[in-house]
Chains A and B, each alone.
Chain A
């Protein structure tokens, strides 16, 4: 099992450009999450999806959109990138509702917006 995979690993954008971060999990989890982590800080939840076909805003959703394409895949889109979106983006998944709601994280995407 690959677990949670994210692409790309690194990306540099210019202000105003758009891009989509891809995330996939092979653990048959029902919940998926997108976080951002700024240098020296904790993770902040951008969006989450409790199940296929549903998405909800987290703590910092402005400037982002998401798509839960199917049970495996959850993408994050930046429509018009801004320097304030320079961060490391982590995708995670979990089997919500089981005894242990353990989140499994991907390796992250390091995004720089110039």
Chain B
């Protein structure tokens, strides 16, 4: 199983861009990188997924370098409602159970 390492917490201010980096040194060839967001008292929610280079959707961008040993979730112009825990997962798309949630990064957005 690919182990992931993220910062425990980050602070930001409204309107800033936030970048959260995840390290996954033993990522396997078939593994994808997926990010989830979790608000208090709710289940996690999918944000974005990628395999290499850059992926962008309406809420975030995901940057993955060529060696794929790390990835960076970028949240543009955060607001107070982006305060949440963000999890980085690494695993393949076929075999259920090979992705594990770490302890995540608690992002606090201040006014």
Of B43, B46, B102, which is within 8 A of A107 by CB? B43
Interface centre among A41, A50, A103, A108 (most CB of B within 10 A): A103
Looking at the assembled complex, report how far the CB atom of A67 sits from the nearest CB atom of chain B, in whole angstroms: 16
Chain A residues closer than 8 Å to B44, beta-carbon distance: 43, 90, 103, 105
What residues make up the interface of B, taking CB atoms closer than 8 Å to A? 32, 34, 36, 41-46, 49, 87, 91, 93-97, 99-104
Known: A101-B32, A106-B43, A108-B42. A48 touches B96 (CB 8 A): yes
**9 further interface pairs, Cβ-Cβ under 8 Å (given A33-B97, A45-B101, A96-B96):** A42-B102, A42-B103, A43-B87, A96-B93, A99-B93, A101-B49, A101-B99, A105-B43, A107-B43
Interface centre among B36, B46, B49, B103 (most CB of A within 10 A): B46
23 contacts between A and B (CB under 8 A): A42-B87, A43-B87, A43-B101, A44-B101, A45-B97, A45-B101, A48-B96, A50-B96, A56-B96, A90-B43, A96-B93, A96-B95, A96-B96, A99-B93, A101-B32, A101-B49, A101-B93, A101-B99, A104-B46, A105-B42, A106-B43, A107-B43, A108-B41
